[in-house]
Structures are given as C-alpha cells and as structure tokens.
Amino acid sequence: MKRLLPAILIAVLVCTVLAIHTHQDLLIEQIDQFLSREAVAPAVEEPGPIVLHESLELPSGPEGEPSAAITDIPTLARRITAGAATDYARLEAVYDWITASFAYDLAKLENMKNTSDFGFGAAYLLEEGKGVCHDFAELALALLTALDIEATYETGEVYPVPGKSELHAWNHVRVDGLWYAIDTTWGAGYIVEEENRFIQKPRRLYLTTPEELFRLHRDPEYKEEREQDYRRQMALQADPVYLSEYEQELLERMNSFRSANDLPRLLQEQRLLETARRYAARIADRAINDEEYSLDGLHSELERLAPSLRFSAAGMCAFLQWNYEPASPEQLFNQIVQEQKEYLVDKSFNAATVAVVCRGDLTVVVQIYLARF
C-alpha cells in the first residue's frame, strides 16, 4: 500500500523580460523543486479455477488456440510468459503484467475491518481487476509457483511517507540461485490521498534486490529520491512530443482571461512557434538531466528577429511540471495565472506564442509575449 505526495511537482520557473531598443538586462527567476536477507515465508497452495473479471485484458494464446477465457492459474501463467526464454524473463513478464493490469482497491482499503464484504487474494484480484497488497502478492506468488519458480509471500511494516507506517505484503523470488524482491502493489501506481484515487503507473523500480526493496520500504525520503531518478530515466528515453492542441487551448484561455479583465486580445504569432518549441525542448532536456537553464539564448534570438517581426518589446516565461499523469490545459493555465500573471495582464502586449512539449512525465510550457507595432 502506498501514499503519494502531491501528484504535480513544479520543478522550475523562469521569467524574462526583454526591451529590444533599450537592451535592458535579463530578469531570470528560477525555482528548483525536484524533486539479502533469506526468504522464509512458506508458499501457499495453488488456487483452484478462477473466473476472470470480464473487463480484464488477458494475454492472447498461441496461434490456432481458442480464445476462450482463461480460468486457471497455470494457463494464465503460461500465457503471460509466452516467449520468455529464462526464469528471470518469466519473472519480469509476471511483474509487468500484474503492475499494468490491476488497480488498487481504495474501497477495500477503507473497509479492511469488514473483510466479509470483499473477496480475498488472487481470486479477488482477478475477478475484480483491483485489490490491496495481499491480493497483489498472492497473485504473484500463485503465478510464479505455477511456473516452478521459487517464491515467497512476505509481510512487514513499511513507511510510505515520513511519519507514517503500515502493514504491507510483497514477494521474494529465487532465480538461478539469486534472491530478488518484487512489490507489485507499489509498482502498479500511486494513491493520491487528497483526491482518494489511484493512478495506474506501472514501473520496474520495485523489481529489485531484497536489500534495495527493504530500504525503499523503510526510508521514505530515499524512496522519493529513487522515484524521481526513475522518472528522469524514463523521460530521458522518451521522445519530445509537441502538444499543438494544448498550445491552442492555452492561448484561448489566456484571451478569455484578458477579455474578462478588459485587456486587448493576444494575436497568435505563428512565426515564433518553432523557436518557442525548440527552447521548450531544450529546457526539458536540461531538466531531465537535472541541469540549470536560462532563456538567454531566446532573448538573443528575439533581438535578432525584432526588425522583421516588428515589435518593440517582448516578455518570456517558462515553467515545467513533473506529473504522474498528463497535466490538463486547465492545470497549466492555472499555473500561468498563479505564478506568471505579470505578462498576461500587461496591456502593452498584443501578440503571443505558446509552446508545450512533453517528455515522459515532464511537461514544459514556454510563453512569448510581444508588443508589436
């Protein structure tokens, strides 16, 4: 079971003002907020036939095999690990399938004292498509046991956030003489306590060694650090995606805000879009590598473009967010209003360009405001 700090972590904020003809100094504001012990528990007996939850997406069988619903653990285990050549690869396949297929059951968590109202273990998880840590760990144990891979069911106290402890369940797995540890509950995603909801976010961070999982379970600050490192690693492997629909909606929201405040509308300066996107991608790259950045280069480029674009002054802002799920245009706009309102309410600006780029869990927004003549 897992708790989560606020889902949106604002990592960097940069604002810059440019006066083309007076060459006034750049104003930059930056804010950085980033974020083998032996297994002893006995294996449980393999459960009997199970009727699967109808909405659960199951691995397809070999070519020519009927697509009838899988109703037993051994068949399910073979389907999940089809094509895996080693026991470790089969372990990975089981871990990945569980963490990607099942949600955390918040209702069951809230009513743990009334367990008669809910099912139990692997059967419950498969039937409902959701469960708590015991259900996750029991399903992992059953699947691995069906594959003749030695595994145990582990329980103990964990500390998901500073100052809070809870009972938890996970597994140890022996492959080729080495012990591994898997926590398929924490590996499946995050609980946002403030909103009482679960975010499905499967990741390999919790397929590790017993020693590493012990520290992740017992040291919440270390866990948070490793979570952020893992997110940076995933973002580094992701290609930048430019969100044109977000760009358009943000400009529309900015103009609605200005109209409501008796300010002139901002015309879209399409000629600067690729420039703004390029700098948004640079910011994303530096943030992923935990490096500082500035908008100096964009300042110089706008000075060069001033005569052809016919503007006398410009304002530049950039911010980024690490999100466990994609930020909405509304969330991004709210941050503009809360932290970069200065340029939005400046009536001397009559044109703007907005660029939005996403890489993994990272979203970057760059705004350019122009006083055109």
pLDDT confidence of residue 116: 61
CATH topology of domain 73-237: C8orf32 fold (3.10.620)
- Which DSSP string corresponds to 237-275? HSPPEE-HHHHHHHHHHHHHHHHHTT-PPPEE-GGGHHH
Q: Evaluate whether 8-34+239-372 and 73-237 have a shared fold.
A: no
In contact, 187 and 204? CB cutoff 8 Å: yes
So what's the pLDDT on residue 109? 84
Does residue 32 contact residue 57 with C-beta atoms inside 8 Å? no
Helix extents (H) in the chain: 73-80, 87-101, 106-110, 121-128, 133-146, 210-218, 220-237, 244-260, 273-288, 296-309, 329-339, 341-344
The model's pTM: 0.76
Which regions in the chain score pLDDT beneath 70?
A: 1-71, 112-117
pLDDT at 58: 53
User: In the prediction, which pLDDT does 230 show?
Assistant: 94
Query: At residue 226, what is the residue type?
Result: R
Q: What is the pLDDT of residues 131-150, one digit of tens each?
A: 999 999 999 999 999 999 99
Pair 323, 367: CB distance under 8 Å = no
Nearest C-alpha neighbor of 16 from the set 297, 278, 270, 292: 297
Q: How far apart (Å, rounded) are the C-alpha atoms in residues 130 and 125?
A: 5
DSSP letter string, 330-345: HHHHHHHHHHSHHHHT
What does the pLDDT look like over 186-220, one tens digit per residue?
999 998 888 889 999 999 999 999 999 999 999 99
Domain locations in the chain as residue ranges: 8-34+239-372, 73-237
Write down how long the chain is: 373
Rounded CA separation 204/99 (Å): 9
Task: Write the pLDDT tens digit of every residue in 94-134.
Answer: 999 999 999 999 988 887 656 566 778 898 999 999 999 99
Radius of gyration of the chain (CA): 26
Quickly name the fold that domain 8-34+239-372 has: Pathogenesis-related Protein p14a (3.40.33)
